[in-house]
Amino acid sequence: MSLLLSTILTLCVLGVLSAVILYVVARKFKVYEDPRIDEAEAMLPGANCGGCGFPGCRGLAGALVKEDDISALFCPVGGAGVMTAVAVYLGKAAPEREPQVAVVRCGGSCGNRPRTNTFDGASSCAVMSSLYAGDTACSHGCLGKGDCVVVCNFDAIFVNPETGLPEVDEERCTACGACVKACPKGVIELRRKGPKGRRVFVSCISKDKGAISRKACNVSCIACTKCQKVCAFEAITIENSLAYIDSNKCKLCRKCAPECPTRAIREVNFPPRLVRVAESEAKVGTKAEVVDVEPENK
Partner 1 sequence: MSKTFKIGGIHPSDSKLSRGAAIEVFGLPQTVTIPVAQHIGAPAVTCVAKGDQVKTGQVIATAAGFVSSNIHSSVSGVVTSVDDVPDAGGMRRKAVTIQVEGDQWAEGIDRSDKLMSSVTLSAKEIVEKITAAGIVGMGGATFPTHVKLSIPPGKKAECLIINGVECEPYLTSDHRVMLERSEELLVGVQILCKALGVEKAYIGIEKNKPDAIAHLKGLVSKYPGVEVVPLKVQYPQGGEKQLIDAVVGRQVPSGALPIEVGAVVQNVGTALAVYEAVQKNKPLIERVVTVTGKSVKTPANYLVRIGTPIEALIERSGGVPDDCEKIVNGGPMMGRALSNPTAPVTKGTSGILLMRTKEARRPAATTCISCAKCVAVCPMGLEPYLIYKLACKTMLAEAEEHRATDCIECGSCSYACPAALPLLDRIRLAKAGVMKIARERAIKQK
Minimum distance from residue 124 beta carbon to partner 1 (Å): 8
If one asks whether residue 116 binds partner 1 (CB under 8 A), the answer comes out as: yes
266 SS3 class: strand
If one asks whether residue 10 binds partner 1 (CB under 8 A), the answer comes out as: no
Minimum distance from residue 185 beta carbon to partner 1 (Å): 12
Residue 100 or 220: which CB sits closer to partner 1?
A: 220
Residue 293 · residue 282 · CB < 8 Å: yes
218 SS3 class: coil
Minimum distance from residue 131 beta carbon to partner 1 (Å): 7
Beta strands in 105-180 (DSSP E): 157-160, 165-168
Q: Which of 61, 73, 137, 231 binds partner 1 (CB under 8 A)?
A: 137
Chain centroid to Cα 220, Å, comes to 21
If one asks whether residue 130 binds partner 1 (CB under 8 A), the answer comes out as: yes
Q: Which of 9, 22, 88, 131 binds partner 1 (CB under 8 A)?
A: 131
Chain centroid to Cα 192, Å, comes to 10
Minimum distance from residue 122 beta carbon to partner 1 (Å): 4
If one asks whether residue 135 binds partner 1 (CB under 8 A), the answer comes out as: yes
Residue ranges in 44-164 assigned as alpha helix (H): 57-66, 79-90, 125-131, 147-151
Minimum distance from residue 6 beta carbon to partner 1 (Å): 55
104 SS3 class: strand
Residue 43 or 137: which CB sits closer to partner 1?
A: 137
Q: Which of residues 228-287 bind partner 1 (CB under 8 A)?
A: none
Q: Which of 51, 95, 134, 166 binds partner 1 (CB under 8 A)?
A: 134
If one asks whether residue 121 binds partner 1 (CB under 8 A), the answer comes out as: yes
Q: In whole angstroms, how far apart are CA 143 and each of 78, 122, 148, 158, 210?
A: 31, 13, 11, 13, 20
The helix (H) or strand (E) run that includes residue 102 is strand 100-104
Q: Which of 63, 127, 149, 268 binds partner 1 (CB under 8 A)?
A: 127
If one asks whether residue 132 binds partner 1 (CB under 8 A), the answer comes out as: yes
Which amino acid is located at 231 in the chain? C
**Among candidate residues 245, 120, 101, 230, the one with its CA nearest the CA of residue 174:** 101
Q: Are strands 242-245 and 188-192 parallel, antiparallel or unpaired?
A: unpaired
Residues binding partner 1 (CB under 8 A):
116-117, 120-122, 124, 126-127, 130-135, 137, 139, 208, 212
